[in-house]
Structure 1
Amino acid sequence: MTDQQVLGLTINGGEEVTVNELTDAGYTVEFQATSDVFDSTGLTSASGELDESSIENGDEFSYKVVISKDDASVESSLADVKVVNKSATFTDITSYTLRLDSNDSDDVTTGTDDQAADPVLTSNTLVVGETAIVDELEGTNLNGDTEKAITDADFSSSNPAVATVNSNGHITAQSSGTTDITITKGDVTQTFTITVETEARELTNATFSEDEVKLVNGQTRKGLTGQATDQYGDPYFVDNTDGDLTVSSALNADDEVIAEPLKPDDQSESGVVTDKDGKFAFAIEASTDKVGSGDIEVKRNDTVVATVNVTVSDDNTAATHKLELSSGKDLTLDSYAGADDQTLTLQYNGYNADGYLVGPKTFKDSETTDAYSVKSSDSNIVSVGVSDNDNALAKNQLMLMLWVKVLHL
């Protein structure tokens, strides 16, 4: 419903007419309803205007119209009305997100949940005892609006012995097997299958954002990222309390160290620490005097789960430049409240003719030489700023800082 909704009427076998036209002609009009739906007067109204606060989506009532003039009057038969809120009535459920409830402070009963702490499940697989959360429901409403948030949906499980689901969309794995979870909003449904396993999640794989890194002596390649996953293909969180994920140095054919992995500045733990989505960041620092090629390995205990090849050269003449990630997990930023990756940093890196990293662009002291400008294509989504005095960089190196402007719509 919207404000100032008015019941209609017709005369003479279907001819549309307004109340004002009838009153101007000397007639008295009264709408009579079977429920208190009218503005101010409840069961009757001279205008037919409905009171929005008195009706809800799905309500049903009947009404008739009595028209009189002088001593004569005529009344219509009862017309049935069903209230439909087009903005809250959906024609389909187009998307949802399934998150693994990994936060002990979440309240499964009431639906209280810390979205920022829950990783997205990609396999639709749960281990016995785990709970998943159906989140970010969207659909198309009767107004034709797409990607509209759906609230107050109903949930059901076809096999509660395998997994139950409560009214808040929290799915709890009970025993091994499969079950269909159905989401219902009004007359539309969406169904997906949950598989429940008994084997605890383990880190089985990690991938790098790049398969090969080329560096010039003394340079550091920042902004490298990795993704840790379990045997089911879902993000695997590593806090490294047991040192279960480590990164090795790269050795050349002469067993000389040509490159070392560096942990992020804000990471005090040794080895690799991931975020909730299994992503981790690291950098590679080339030797100042050794050249050659070798692999940096990510190991789980003694098992190699990922490698990246590193080649170090002594040619430090820049031939090309690229704008690349310096810090941050990836180029995707989250804007919801509480998200921990609303910023990232880019560097304008130089590369030699063979594609080896020479280093970030260094500006001359003169403000009129090598001048660059930076801007965002849409400042309502992402704001951009430039810093040339960061203590971690050499004097006048260019660093680009981007941050998301969180919008509360």
Structure 2
Amino acid sequence: MKVKVGIVGCGVVGTGTVRLLLENSNIIQKKTGVELVLTKVADKDWERKREIEIPTYLRTHDYREVIKESDIVVELVGGKDFAKNLILEALEENKHVITANKRLLAEDGLEVFRKARERGLHIGFEASVGGGIPIVKALKEGLVGNRVRAIYGILNGTTNYILTKMLEERMDFSHALELAQKQGYAEADPSLDIDGWDSAHKICILSMIAFGRYVPFEEVYVEGIRDLDLLDLELGKELGYTLKLLAISKRRDGSMEVRVHPTFIRSEDALAKVSDVYNAIMVEGDFVGKTMFYGKGAGGQPTASAVVSDIVDIAKKLLFCTKDKDQLEWEDQSLYLSKDFYSRYYMRFDVPDRPGVLASVSRVLADYNISIASVLQKEKVCKMAGREGEPIVPLVILTHKAYESSMQKAIREIKNLPVIMGEPVVIRVEEEAY
């Protein structure tokens, strides 16, 4: 028996998937007993150049041809509205679906998965997070016996490349972004990456798998790297930390936190050593402890590998008549989503180099029950002249763990102190020892 596969969208990932299916179908059949037959590939533009020539007999402009002639429909068009309508239409026609569309699943996944479950159909989405890193399968299968405590992810290669260049080559943000665009790692409009939305879509999906709770995307806290100053990366390094755009999901006292923001982590930690365009995801389970998944998080071939993995999984279920509970049902609503994070904090204030400054700042922090762990004042780093010509220097404070709500109130009060020049810098610190 053969399983027929059709693809809608023949961009970089779609072309990679076609190539893999055409070149390695014999290998797949030998390994799994599954014979995959590529039926149709739909795309609106067959004139553009691709890494391989798509055979004419596979080409079509009509996505409905793909749905009609396939057992499994692979959606690789990107965007949201058309992709959503395509997937729902395929499900209505009783076709199983595979998608790499992280935005769609994060924002409208509830509707899509409910439709699939109602009709007894499968949805594969390994390629939606981490490119070729098999993190979805790991959470659903390899770590199924664990109660997941936390997920920490470097989930966007563009921002990781930019932060690597800033720190290693002492570049400011704008120059590092320009280099990323020249290398093809960043789009002409890089907002989705540098403002944290790409990472937020991915951690939203991982959180729903790990914790069995639907996470409304609009409730995920998101902060990007656009406003980062090289000075803070360097001061953090001096304190023993490396800055990453970290996607975090964790349980805490009956609640869960789901957030994306620049984060200092200890420079000796494994995640801190992940550089350039690579992704890494650290999962902590109650029995397995910490385990890390590392690899290329994007690109045609790694993502195509993840797509085909899903194709094979669903094809095996169809051929061997196996049934399992592989759809997200989000029945566990016992964990509430908290935005009052509990974290350490790095703060930098530009202040006059004179007595009493630290005392005035620390009094405000004490009023909000925020304990200071260490202080660093760089008297040789003179940033500007103050109101009376006195030097303005960076004052860095590291705190013990505190609640986000307390920190925000303290910062609002501190910034109004007459000794504070400009906007304070606040960066969260993830460190278990404190």
Superposed pair shares fold, TM > 0.5: no
Give the structure with the higher percent strand.
1
Determine which structure has greater relative contact order: mean sequence separation of CA pairs < 8 Å that are 6+ residues apart, divided by chain length: 2
The TM-score normalised by the length of structure 1 is: 0.20
